[in-house]
Amino acid sequence: MKTELVISSDESPLTLHRYPRRKNETLQAFDAADEYIIEHANTWQLEAGNRVLILNDQFGALSCWACSQGYDVIQISDSVVSQQATLANLRQNQLPDITLLKSTEPLPKQFDAVIMRVPKSSKMLAWQLQQLASVTTPATRILAGDKAKAIHTSTLNQFEHWLGATTTSLAKKKARLIFSTANALPQQPTEPLSYVDVPEFSMRLANWPNVFSAKKLDIAAYLMLPQIPSSDEEKNILDLGCGNGVLALQAARNNPKAYIYAVDESHMAVASAQHNLESHDIDSQRFQCEARDCLTDFNHTDIDLVLCNPPFHQQQTITDHIAWQMFCDAKRVLTTNGALLVIGNRHLGYHTKLKRLFGNVTVVASNKKFVILKAVNAQF
């Protein structure tokens, strides 16, 4: 695994790590698309102090490069993990901090250049391009890049539609670049929120564009809903990896005296959960929605129930390390006899992981594909 990103023959390489740092990490913090973007952007010969907007930087490679060139860097991202990675990598390379914006914030104006990693979700791409159209001019350099296999004709059509004239590069190490000029006529703006109805549970869930399963309710979430416990006692319940807050909402309804925490690393997920709890008349004194990397710096230890439908991706990579971090963090914040309720695909083997961590695990419900497991933070 390489940690040194070579910028040019006369500059020192950048040292870059994923976040959080893990022992025996096998995955790189930058890829061929980052390298290709930097190689092209180096030919622009921008001046120190020029304003560069960076969207969707994965672990901060692009931001560290731009910062190392003396540009005024503004990074916008949906991911707390990406932003923490960026800060850690800036420090690692003795570079100054940059401006970090949440994906739900409006874009500032007047950039000399815009650099984008193409987001995975086409809804997110449309939303970001629409926003870019309102803050760029034909003079703004606009460069995007990704794995070649992730750039389709429909991707290029979106750039043409929202921004204007668009061309692509040849593929290099399986990465491709997109070049656009912001010269299109203004298009009809769209709203960021889309809605999913769940009539069986009397829910209408709003989703910001980058939210997990924004087009329809996730099947695992749907199976989890009837298994969420009910109580009239005062309890603290936490939805870990809350997405649009569907589990938090049902927990709030089933437990009218409970305080609800909803945590996700995606700013758009957190904004959606906040919106959905409010729009379903959950008293705002009863809940808190927060962007965090799992439960890092979450200092409560009085949680009675953690609900978790864990992710199995980080960026484009399939991994179970986030689920494991979530289980470990859940154990740390649970009261004695507090419980963790987890849903997962059978093949992911969460049963073994929970047994190892908690010393106990029971199957609450299952079907051919999914299993819902409960682990209790028992006192030994």
Ligand X SMILES: C[S@@+](CC[C@H](N)C(=O)[O-])C[C@H]1O[C@@H](n2cnc3c(N)ncnc32)[C@H](O)[C@@H]1O
- Contact residues toward ligand X (CB under 6 A) are 81, 212-213, 218, 221, 241-243, 246-247, 263-266, 269, 293-294, 309, 311, 322
Nearer to ligand X, 32 or 344 (CB): 344
Q: Which of 37, 201, 169, 172 is nearest to 114 (CA)?
A: 37
> Smallest distance, Å, CB 217 to ligand X?
7
Nearest distance, CB of residue 175 and ligand X, angstroms: 24
Q: Taking the complex as a whole, how short is the minimal distance between the CB of residue 343 and ligand X, in angstroms?
A: 8
Considering the complex, state which of residue 299 and residue 379 has its C-beta at the smaller distance from ligand X. 299
Nearest approach, Cβ of 186 to ligand X (angstroms)? 32
Nearest distance in Å: CB 247, ligand X: 5
Report the residue number, 32 or 322, with the smaller CB distance to ligand X.
322
Please report how close the Cβ of residue 242 comes to ligand X at its closest, in angstroms. 5
Q: Which CB atom, from 38 or from 269, has the smaller least distance to ligand X?
A: 269
Question: Which C-beta is closer to ligand X: that of 192 or that of 243?
Answer: 243
Nearer to ligand X, 243 or 338 (CB): 243
